[in-house]
Structure 1
Amino acid sequence: MYAEFKSVDRIGLGAKSVCVPPCASDLLSEVLQDLRLSNATYGRSELTAPWGIQVPFKEGVRFHFVAEGRCLMRSDGLKPVMMNKGDVVLLPHGSAHEIANDSASRARPLAELEPTLVGNGTYRLTAGGGGERSLIVCCTIGFEGPTANPLLEMLPPIIHVRRDKIRDSYIATVLGLMAEEVQTQRIGGATIMARLADIILTHIVRTWVESAEAQLTGWLAAIKDPQVGRALAGIHRDPGAAWTLDSLAAIAGMSRSQFSRRFGKLLKVSPARYLAQWRMRLATAWIRNNFMTVAEAAARLGYESEASFSRAFKRSMGIPPSFVKRPAA
């Protein structure tokens, strides 16, 4: 039933790995594994009421953990989120936002509060009026490799995971370890915090997917589908394979017509269209970030020639692939 999968060297995403028969339940894990941290900044903020901070947009994923006290998060167009001790909030798109002790407190720009840089990518901040104390641990994460990750694109602007929804008891310990590393600045702290941030990000996303399962739509619903999810796993593990409707339906264990209907219902595009879009998104990221040339991307994605790839790219993206390449620094 399963197609034969070759070894795929994931450019920019880690070491070469041998693919196994796709399993729908593992696709979320695989996509999460593809989120390789390239950089991160960490902050430990000791704040006393009244206080408020304007946090500007920054490309990447942000999260805040309330180690002590509480805080209110506000972002344009979204309902305010009250966070209590032990809560974590994730902003998958790096959105600009404010955090404050309550709705009456005025928020000041983060730069104006003059956080103190205490290490490589870590800072401490002390501010406020001397009242009720809150301790907030913050992290902003950047990723290497293709940035066109469907999981991050499908996540809502804010994910709030309450303390009582955290099923894994060790997460509180991990978050505490991160706060301690920011505070103590010991040798190797940046490496340790990167590993901790990886664990926390994966956990938050998994917890949200599990708790919101009944409301999932689109790509997230498709990867949870036991049959369509297997086909998606195949596409994502080997985007350059010579996929056809027949081979994808075989992986899903469905007839061509059944598979095409269910795939289209979940993802709102045909299997062929999804495959083409995913290839072009990968190619855009590879070329833009100088991971490979246009010719290398064409070969990696299964095109017979650079010319045929360039035509397909322009048809899909509206510009030639050479136009997305960033100039050398």
Structure 2
Amino acid sequence: MLDRFSGSVCHRPPAPPPGVPDTLTEILLGLRLDGVEYGRCELRRPWAVAFPAQRAAGFHFVSHGGCWLRTATSDDWMRLNPGDAVLLPRGSSHVLASDPAVPAVDIASLARVAVSENIYLVRGDAAGTSDDGLPDVMFCGTMSFNLDPLHPLVAMMPDVMRAADLAQRDPTVPALLEAMEREVELRRIGACGILARLADVVAATIIRAWVECACSDATGWIAAVRCPRVGKVLAAIHAEPERDWRVPELAALMGASRSSFAEAFTRTVGESPAKYVTRIKMFQARRWIAEGMRISVAAHRLGYDSEASFSRAYKRVIGHPPSETRAERARPRGTGGANLPADAVALAG
């Protein structure tokens, strides 16, 4: 599934009053990328590169020239121009090409020069150039989000999120991408850590652009985020997942009676307030346990009287007991998957 928001009308949610956070802000502020790997690719025409499916998210930004993109699930080619960026949240297999007619080679077959840890350069060996005599230049990478795979935002993400003219939509993006380019080229100490933080901002910018510009007819969670009254409730839940939220308190935040609040929340979000609160609590629990917190401590912080009742709720939402999450933390990890704890094969471009 391709989600294109080139030239679409942006429907930005109203800004909340000062001091009142909105749901998307709370999520994007907490967005972090792990297992980040970056590359600068200089490819001379004609060229076409195939990227296999993987469990890490893929990212491409076209700096110079241009190319075409097609995923394995679509017969359509998408044009990417300078300034365009794409995010593949689930690491779908895809092809980038200077022309759709060019046979693709596997990315692993291209020479790759390591600049430093997790930073590399790729230069194609074809003899051609773009129209201005220069090679096509792209920044590519892999990363895994710390957002839970069952998070409603993640569940709604398309296979390909394209931000056309991202650099024009957000004036901060060119400076961020230029900073990323400098870190790759200058090979300075600490470049990988700085690139990771810059990537956090760029990925958050793409997600925000998708929410604002690609979901004009959205329903469910995205619609709830855009609704000022329901969005205020969601923001409060996400800001304090450990709080013992009750329907009367949430209804008061929305300024409605308990019955009308519960009906409006369920209709907009797609599940009852109690189920949503429990789900967000379990997302927070999984993060805490993955970071090393004891299960009993997580249960207590989230208001559960016993570890057994907490474990039952955790398994019901996450799909396995918290002890399995704790065991996953002890296993060796590679690049990681997009929102998944398993190892992943890193993109080479």
| Fold conserved between structures, TM > 0.5 | yes
Higher RCO (Cα < 8 Å, 6 or more apart): 2
1:290–1:326 CA distance, 2 compared to 1 (3 A): farther
Question: How many Å separate the matches in 2 of 1:164 and 1:273?
Answer: 36
Q: Contact 2:167 / 2:173 at 8 angstroms: preserved in 1?
A: no
Number of the residue aligned with 2:14: none
Question: How many Å separate the matches in 2 of 1:325 and 1:316?
Answer: 16
Q: Contact 1:22 / 1:234 at 8 angstroms: preserved in 2?
A: no
Number of the residue aligned with 1:71: 67
- 2:89 is the counterpart of 1:88: no
Structure 1 residue identity aligned to 2:87: L
- 2:114 is the counterpart of 1:113: no
State the superposition RMSD in angstroms. Answer: 2.5
Question: How many Å separate the matches in 1 of 2:59 and 2:172?
Answer: 18
Offset from partner CA, 1:36-69 (integer Å, 9 cap, x none): 2333111000001111112233434332111111
1:313–1:172 CA distance, 2 compared to 1 (3 A): closer
Structural mapping, 1:57-206, within 5 Å: 57-78=53-74, 79-131=76-128, 132=130, 133-144=135-146, 148-163=150-165, 166-206=168-208
Structure 2 residue identity aligned to 1:114: A
Q: Secondary structure at the match of 1:215?
A: coil
Question: How many Å separate the matches in 1 of 2:151 and 2:56?
Answer: 12
Offset from partner CA, 1:194-247 (integer Å, 9 cap, x none): 232122112222222221242222222211111111111121122222211111
Offset from partner CA, 1:281-319 (integer Å, 9 cap, x none): 3334443x2532221221122111112212333444554
1:135–1:319 CA distance, 2 compared to 1 (3 A): closer
Structure 1 residue identity aligned to 2:260: Q
Question: How many Å separate the matches in 1 of 2:18 and 2:180?
Answer: 36
1:248, distance to aligned residue in structure 2 (A): 0.9
1:146, distance to aligned residue in structure 2 (A): 5.3
Number of the residue aligned with 2:33: 37
Number of the residue aligned with 2:314: 313
Tell me whether 28-37 or 52-61 shows the greater mean CA deviation.
Answer: 52-61
Question: How many Å separate the matches in 2 of 1:250 and 1:109?
Answer: 57
Unaligned runs of 5+ in 2: 1-16, 332-349
1:281–1:193 CA distance, 2 compared to 1 (3 A): closer
Number of the residue aligned with 1:48: 44
Q: Contact 2:147 / 2:154 at 8 angstroms: preserved in 1?
A: no
1:283–1:188 CA distance, 2 compared to 1 (3 A): closer
Q: Secondary structure at the match of 1:251?
A: helix
Q: Contact 1:235 / 1:275 at 8 angstroms: preserved in 2?
A: yes
- Aligned residue pair count: 308
Q: Contact 2:279 / 2:317 at 8 angstroms: preserved in 1?
A: yes
Query: Paired residue for 2:273, among 271, 274, 299?
Result: 271
Q: Secondary structure at the match of 1:176?
A: helix
1:192, distance to aligned residue in structure 2 (A): 2.8
Unaligned runs of 5+ in 1: 1-19
Structure 1 residue identity aligned to 2:297: E
Question: How many Å separate the matches in 2 of 1:184 and 1:196?
Answer: 16
Question: How many Å separate the matches in 2 of 1:37 and 1:223?
Answer: 23
Question: How many Å separate the matches in 1 of 2:120 and 2:311?
Answer: 45
Q: Secondary structure at the match of 1:166?
A: helix
Question: How many Å separate the matches in 2 of 1:169 and 1:70?
Answer: 21
Number of the residue aligned with 1:303: 304
Question: How many Å separate the matches in 1 of 2:311 and 2:23?
Answer: 29
Identity across the alignment (%): 40
1:321, distance to aligned residue in structure 2 (A): 2.9
